[in-house]
Amino acid sequence: MPVTSMLPDYHLHSRASVDSRMEMDVACAEAIRLGLNELCFTEHVDLVPEDPDAGYFDPDTYFAEIRRCREQFAGLLTIRAGIEVGESHRVRALQGSLTGRYPFDFVIGSLHWVGSETTMKPEYFDNKTRRQAYETYFTELLALVHAGDFDVLGHLDVPKRYEFPLHGSFDSAEFAEEIRAVLAACVSRGVGIELNTGSMRRTDGDPSPSPEVLGWYRELGGGILTLGSDAHRPQHIAHEFSRARDMIRAAGFTHLTTFERRQPMFVAID
């Protein structure tokens, strides 16, 4: 029996992303096998000069693959075109030239760099206290929400993935004030957040954000929520989606959000 009950996976990386070798058609076939009827390939677009992978993404090749897979899997799977833009608030002009030229359905805004430091390695926590590390991160994340061009904020507490081997589990309550400020800014701007199950593979089963934070977002009036596995390999597509569905329901959500040409649509959770 399919384990996803038709839940859409809105965070996937094919070989169009620098850190993935997954073929798009293989991902689509696996999604269908799992019971998905929709997914969105959200390839990394890295534009800040600190990032050594800046400029890797090739939109023409990407859209050629999207078109090929849409033809191959027509009637079986809805395939959306997306990108995950790092530091959107710092690269709006460059990003705008890309999104203005190509028909993207969806944009994730993520924070991978704070100044010249990457948040995606345990070394981010070197030479600073935990509080300093997270306060700096959430301050920059708030700037991203205020000034970036995106539809949904990606893995909003992502440093916990890389802190976990060092200090163990992350307690959202310790940074409730900072996180709530980010969530309130999302609601005010009319952008959403995602529940990213990729973090569950790297921690003790805690997604990004935690179920507690999902509840805060709902209490603050948040209604735009996507679900994504952050898969870079076929075996990680729809990772822990059954558990994620339970978390989403428990937080008070009855719908997930999908996007077409960057316009939100709402689908009921079975």
β-strand pairing of 117-118 with 113-114: antiparallel
Beta strands in the chain (DSSP E): 9-12, 38-45, 78-86, 106-110, 113-114, 117-118, 152-153, 192-196, 225-228, 255-260, 263-268
pLDDT at 1 (0 to 100): 33
- Whether residue 158 is contained in a domain is answered as yes
Spatial neighbors of 74 by CB under 8 A, at least 6 apart, are none
Instruction: Give, for 245, the enclosing helix (H) or strand (E).
Output: helix 241-250
- Whether residue 34 is contained in a domain is answered as yes
Are the C-beta atoms of 112 and 137 separated by less than 8 Å?
no
- Whether residue 4 is contained in a domain is answered as no
Q: In sequence order, what DSSP letters do the residues of 41-102 get, joined into one string? A: EEEEE--STT-TTTT---HHHHHHHHHHHHHHTTTT-EEEEEEEEETGGG-HHHHHHHHTTS
- Whether residue 3 is contained in a domain is answered as no
**CATH code of residue 27:** 3.20.20.140
- Whether residue 210 is contained in a domain is answered as yes
pLDDT at 5 (0 to 100): 54
- Whether residue 150 is contained in a domain is answered as yes
224 secondary structure, DSSP code: -
- Whether residue 57 is contained in a domain is answered as yes
> What's the pLDDT tens digit per position in 201-227?
988 889 999 999 999 999 999 999 999
Beta bridge partners of 39: 9, 79
- Whether residue 1 is contained in a domain is answered as no
| Mean pLDDT value of segment 109-131 | 95
Q: What residue has token string 């990004």?
A: 208
Q: In this model, does residue 156 exceed pLDDT 50?
A: yes
Provide the domain limits for residue 261.
9-268
Q: What's the total number of domains in the chain?
A: 1
Neighbours of 250 (CB within 10 A): 12
Neighbours of 197 (CB within 10 A): 26
> What's the pLDDT tens digit per position in 41-91?
999 999 999 999 999 999 999 999 999 999 999 999 999 999 999 999 999
pLDDT at 243 (0 to 100): 96
β-strand pairing of 117-118 with 78-86: unpaired
In the numeric block, which tokens belong to residue 182? 């980010």
